[in-house]
């Protein structure tokens, strides 16, 4: 799934706090956003392996949620929401496409690396690929209650995420071609920083 979907999913985790603990809701919305985004900071360095921990993030999230329920403070709530956002991101990527340059072709058997078992988890492709129409629909669905609930800066963040999602969805199918063309003109010393899937493209 695309980054805006993960970001909105992380923010949506904080929605129940608006009703049950409104004093913690603002920090939880921010922490959820950051947790939803965090795993994809590995985009160009071992994507879906370096910072994707479906088992460990989930285990830590359970501990953090129990801590937040036992001792509810801004810090414990933020930690719990961040870890939940990161865990859901890592787990939900299993239900998307693989790591190939054109994931709609369904040629990759790698979705997310499971550090606990030491192997790659195969993609389930319930959401066909990041930036697919189904992915955008998921972003819209997550954004709906957030737009109804939030105001000010946080509402602006949701609108910005939707705008990025819309643009990314519109251009997703042409991005691989654009990327491989750009890689072709990069100086040799910079190509070592380019993910292997761009260098191995056979189209």
Structure confidence at residue 132 (pLDDT): 98
C-alpha 18/C-alpha 146 separation (Å) is 11
C-alpha 81/C-alpha 28 separation (Å) is 6
Candidate from 83-87, 115-119, 198-202 with smallest mean pLDDT = 198-202
pLDDT, averaged across the chain: 94
pLDDT at residue 203 tops 60: no
Average pLDDT, integer, range 198-203: 61
Could you give the C-alpha distances from 11 to 108, 116, 156, 197, 199, in angstroms and in order? 30, 27, 13, 31, 35
Average pLDDT, integer, range 147-157: 98
Q: What is the separation, in whole angstroms, between the first and last Cα of the chain?
A: 23
Q: How many CB atoms lie within 10 A of CB 33?
A: 26
C-alpha 181/C-alpha 172 separation (Å) is 15
**Number of residues in the chain:** 203
pLDDT, tens only, 108-144: 999 999 999 999 999 999 999 999 999 999 999 999 9
Residue pair 33/11 in contact (Cβ under 8 Å)? The answer is yes
Written as one string, the DSSP assignment of 70-89 is: HS--HHHHHHHHHHHHHHHH
pLDDT at residue 198 tops 80: no
Of 177, 178, 97, 91, the closest CA to residue 132 belongs to 97
Residue pair 168/6 in contact (Cβ under 8 Å)? The answer is no
pLDDT at residue 147 tops 70: yes
Residue pair 79/65 in contact (Cβ under 8 Å)? The answer is no
């Amino acid at each position: 799934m695309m980054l805006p979907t993960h970001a909105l999913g992380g923010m949506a985790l904080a929605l129940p706090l608006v009703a049950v603990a409104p004093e913690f809701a603002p920090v939880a919305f921010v922490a959820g956003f950051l947790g939803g985004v965090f795993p994809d900071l590995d985009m160009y360095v071992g994507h879906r392996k370096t910072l994707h921990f479906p088992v460990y993030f989930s285990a830590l999230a359970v501990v953090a949620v129990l801590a937040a329920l036992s001792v509810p403070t801004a810090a414990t709530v933020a930690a719990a929401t961040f870890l939940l956002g990161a865990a859901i991101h890592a787990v939900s990527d299993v239900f998307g496409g693989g790591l190939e340059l054109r994931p709609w072709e369904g040629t990759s058997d790698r979705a997310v690396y499971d550090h606990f078992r030491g192997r790659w988890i195969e993609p389930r492709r319930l959401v066909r690929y990041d930036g697919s129409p189904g992915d955008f629909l998921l972003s819209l669905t997550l954004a709906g209650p957030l737009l109804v609930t939030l105001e000010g800066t946080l509402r602006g963040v949701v609108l910005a995420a939707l705008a990025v999602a819309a643009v990314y969805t519109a251009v997703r199918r042409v991005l691989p071609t654009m990327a491989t063309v750009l890689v072709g003109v990069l100086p040799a010393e910079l190509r070592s920083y380019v993910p292997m899937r761009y260098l191995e493209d056979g189209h």
